[in-house]
Amino acid sequence: MTETSLSAKLGGVLGGRTATALQRAFGIETVGEMLEHYPRRYARRGELTALGTLPLGENVTIVADVLEVRERSMKQRRGSLLEVVISDGQGRLTLTFFNQAWRAKELRPGLRGIFAGKVGDYRGSYQLAHPDYEMFPDESEAPALATPDAKRWADTPIPIYPATNTIASWQIQKSMALVLDALPKLEDPVPYEVRAARGEMSFDDAIRAVHAPQADRDWQQARRSLRYQEAFLMQTALLQQRAASRALLADPRLPSENGYLTRLDAALPFSLTGDQQTVGAEIASDMASPEPMNRLVQGEVGSGKTLVALRAMAAVADSGGQSALLAPTEVLAAQHLRSIVRSLGPDLAAELMPTLLTGQVGAAERKKALLRIVSGQARIVIGTHALLGDNVNFYDLGLVVVDEQHRFGVEQRDVLRRKGRTPPHVLVLTATPIPRTVAMTVFGDLDVSTIRELPKGRQGIESFVVPLTDHPGWIGRVWERMAEELALGRQAFVVCPAIDAKQIEPGEELDEEDGDPTRPIASVTATLEGLRGHPLFAGVRIEALHGRMTSEEKERTMLAFAAGEIKVLVATTVIEVGVDVPNASTMVVLDADRFGVSQMHQLRGRVGRGGVPGLCLLVTAAEPETIARERVEAVAATLDGFDLAQVDLELRREGNVLGTAQSGGRSSLKILRVAFDGDLISDARGDAARVLQVDPDLGGHPAIIDALQRRLDESERAALSKN
């Protein structure tokens, strides 16, 4: 089947009304997108749904028997109420219909059907108000019960699709049947020899079996084959881009004998860890090549990634080039400047002239910075998005370092990279450890280095959950414990998800899954006022830090905190990464369930950075056995960021993978389970590499080209072309 057929608008197959409803409900516009709206599970006519497990407030699709039907007049207003009691043989659920007595003829006791609606609570009992339903034929209409046909009829899987309150699952199923009937044989993007070696179904067979299975083995095998196809196409795209980026020519950047790098290493008051040495050697090897480096360095909080990057910058300076470090916030950019100047020492700093450029730098300072950058006087440039401006020009940009890459879009990174007269080497840093499957999936075109080893002398961090739903009075002990740390001459962070009662941190997206949206969010302004008035902190200097403050205010506050003048900093996640105050021992995270796993891990990493042991108190009012509570408990249970990254991936379920991380668009992954399909992705990567080795341009595989164009939306294709 041609790409045009799968790209055809749904209206031509289903009619404008149905196509419009599907577009509004799911964003589905084409035949191909409709086929990728896969069932989320399968039911059977002979199998009832356990009603006791239904989630309150969610749309559900269930199979149940009708037990009772009764009609009564309403007391408060005119009309009648039809109440239908359905059962799974144990529990009961009530269906309610207002002024629709005629439905009693369809909903007769003894019949079985599928019912769909939103689970509500009326006087302590669950109900579905005005649900959609489709009844199975009664025994007189169904195949004779004792025949093989009857067993097949009862056991045939019924696809249950993701549905809404406007489109029920069986309505999607009927539309899908029309689409399948209109399809000629589908071309397969996975080459026959690859598919045959794995025993996978063809694309045509798999797509029909997943939507219209005759037995469980049909949809099970179909889903596996479709997952593999997604992995194969994704890895093909990433490996093609990897090859394209390596086909470019860059200037090799080699350190000179007794140059800046040698002098930097000699001035360090400590030895590099084994991991820092290993990763440094990998970077040096990459930058010595005429191919542009594209390397991701992931490492635990405080593992010394910035020093590894600084050594690469020194090597670039040895070759006469410049380096640009792109940071996500002004606080972090300023922190990097101080850290780099401190590491270089006065002599090297004077020669390399590290220069800061952010959006809130004054006009006079900005002019000086721009002149240093364009003249090449500034060998190291540190900045925020301000570095991307059209008036920022480099003399010889040899290395781009992107810190906390997940804060930047691909387009922003590409703008900075284009400022080099030849393609610069690119080093991406992240303190958010990445599971192997995500590294293969999202960063498949990058080489990945890992720093696990922490510098010697780091103290441990103790982490505790403070569950206010179970123990409301424990919040008092939190402040007592913080006061005890302050009495030892130490400092503390208190982190809130919001600046004030109505405003979260700019650019911050709170993770409220399973949270209580009616509960007030802890805010910087309210917490600051409360702590300043608390008798335990009389005479203690407590200040705020958040994204609404000016650059000068933030810089002044951080310097005062680093100098020990401020004892408690009440902040938002602007302190999530990069902030380094060795005397800070205590991290209190209020409404911790509002943050993601990696965010909590990053916040915790702000303490225990010197010779002072760290204490992290994760305060939450999330209910037990909710995902929100699970996230908090997972962070408290381990300090291993790599373990937490896998937990985070599993708790987030699927989410967006390629779309979110690479382009901000909708993910092209529909059925692949990144958290659990690591072996499948690894196999697909090897298979894709072998196909591309023989046919790099895929000229002999037009079906792969068509599938890639169809599956990757415009933003994802742009992302892959620029990464």
Confidence grade of residue 281 (pLDDT, cut at 50, 70, 90): very high
For 643-655, how does the pLDDT look when each residue is reduced to its tens digit (9 = 90+)? 777 777 666 544 4
Q: What is the pLDDT of residue 131?
A: 83
Residue 420 has pLDDT above 60, yes or no: yes
Instruction: Domains for the chain: give ranges and CATH numbers.
Output: 45-155 (2.40.50.140), 461-638 (3.40.50.300)
Q: Are 643 and 490 in contact (CB under 8 A)?
A: no
Give the least confident one: 291-305, 339-353, 443-457, 646-660: 646-660
Region 245-259: mean pLDDT is 87
pLDDT score at 253: 94
CA pair distance 671, 351, nearest whole angstrom: 54
Determine the residue type at 660: T
What's the pTM value of the predicted model, to 2 decimals? 0.65
- Per DSSP, the residues of 313-328 read HHHHHHTT-EEEEE-S
Q: What sections of 455-596 are H helices per DSSP?
A: 474-487, 524-532, 551-562
- What does the pLDDT look like over 460-493, one tens digit per residue? 789 999 999 889 899 999 999 999 999 999 999 9
Report which of residues 248 and 188 the model is more confident about. Answer: 188
Question: How much is the average pLDDT of 363-374?
Answer: 91
CA distance 424 to 447: 16
- Closest by Cα among 358, 354, 401 to 381: 354
Burial of 495 (0-12, 13-18, 19+ CB in 10 A): buried
What is the structure's pLDDT at 4? 44
Q: Is 296 exposed, middle or buried (0-12, 13-18, 19+ CB in 10 A)?
A: buried
Describe the strand order of the beta sheet including 614-620 as a list of residue ranges: 461-467, 614-620, 584-589, 491-495, 568-571, 542-545
Mean of pLDDT values over 399-414: 72
153 falls in which pLDDT band (50, 70, 90)? low
C-alpha to C-alpha distance for 330 and 672, rounded to whole angstroms? 38
